[in-house]
């Protein structure tokens, strides 16, 4: 039950991104870069300092390697099947000039629906990561949930931006972003069923979660953050790494 609560809270943070957009408009590029870098730093710290060592302790090196590769592989396949637009892409949302479109409204709205579908599916393995972390320790589960929750706020902006620019009502935008986020506890529920099978599976799931999170950081967070403001991105990444290490030490 605790893992479902953590994943639910992490998931609904996507709606915070939508609310941020509706209430105060998109944040500036410098702030977004810092937020993305910070989330990436925490996710790297959790993966390297806790998930992978714990997977090694519960299983062995082979389980760690296979699980890690599978985690990276799944995120790669999701990107190939359902690539989702990034915040730094101009056809999604101009974060400096909210409401300014570079393509037609219908196209932007369609982009928003694709972004929603892609992020919803990407959130399933993130939920699995939270469940795997809690199987190891409450502190690790909380750290992963915090990292994913921070990561989901910009994702909420990525979903809400093109939908709102495409003419979708605020209420429906909120429902879409919330729906995408709630795929996180779905992933956790799937993991809870699997984790009862064996300790080796828990070890593999921890390694899987590490691979998925490292892939997300390198494929999405760092490139997006650097594309907005590299100095703010580096500052956020360093702060996230240090905070993640302090939380897990």
List CB contacts of 143: < 8 A, sequence separation 6 or more.
Answer: 42, 46, 50, 133, 244, 247, 248
Q: Is the pLDDT of residue 96 over 70?
A: no
26-40, 105-119, 163-177, 207-221: which has the minimum mean pLDDT?
105-119
pLDDT of residue 131: 81
A 10 A CB-CB count for 172 gives: 11
- Measure the CA angle with vertex 162, ends 173 and 91; round to 5°: 175
> What separation in angstroms does the CA of 160 have from each of 19, 36, 177, 185?
9, 17, 7, 20
Instruction: Quickly state the pLDDT bin for 169 (edges 50, 70, 90).
Output: confident
Q: How far is Cα 202 from Cα 51, in angstroms, rounded to an integer?
A: 11
197, two tokens: 């099978």
Residue 65 has pLDDT above 90, yes or no: yes
- Asked if residue 226 has pLDDT above 70, the reply is yes
148, 210 in Cβ contact below 8 A?
A: no
Mind listing the pLDDT tens digit for each residue in 21-53?
788 776 677 877 887 788 788 778 878 887 788
């Amino acid at each position: 039950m605790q893992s479902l609560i953590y994943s639910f809270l992490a998931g609904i943070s996507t709606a915070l991104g939508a609310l941020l957009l509706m209430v105060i408009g998109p944040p500036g590029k410098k702030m977004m870069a810092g937020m993305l870098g910070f989330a990436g730093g925490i996710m790297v710290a959790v993966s390297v300092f806790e998930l992978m060592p714990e997977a090694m302790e519960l299983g062995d090196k082979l389980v760690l390697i296979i699980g890690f590769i599978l985690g990276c592989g799944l995120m790669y396949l999701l990107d190939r099947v359902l690539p989702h637009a990034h915040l730094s892409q101009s056809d999604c949302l101009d974060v400096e000039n909210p409401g300014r479109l570079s393509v037609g409204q219908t196209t932007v709205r369609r982009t928003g629906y694709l972004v929603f579908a892609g992020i919803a599916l990407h959130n399933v393995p993130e939920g699995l990561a939270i469940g795997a972390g809690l199987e190891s320790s409450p502190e690790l589960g909380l750290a992963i949930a915090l990292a994913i929750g921070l990561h989901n706020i910009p994702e909420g902006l990525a979903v809400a931006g093109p939908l709102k620019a495409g003419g979708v009502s605020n209420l429906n935008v909120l429902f879409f972003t919330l729906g995408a986020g709630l795929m996180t506890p779905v992933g956790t529920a799937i993991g809870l069923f699997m984790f009862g099978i064996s300790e080796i599976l828990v070890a593999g799931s921890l390694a899987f979660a590490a691979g998925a999170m490292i892939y997300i950081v390198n494929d999405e967070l760092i490139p997006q953050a650097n594309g907005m403001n590299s100095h703010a991105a580096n500052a956020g990444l360093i702060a996230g790494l240090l905070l993640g290490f302090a939380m897990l030490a």
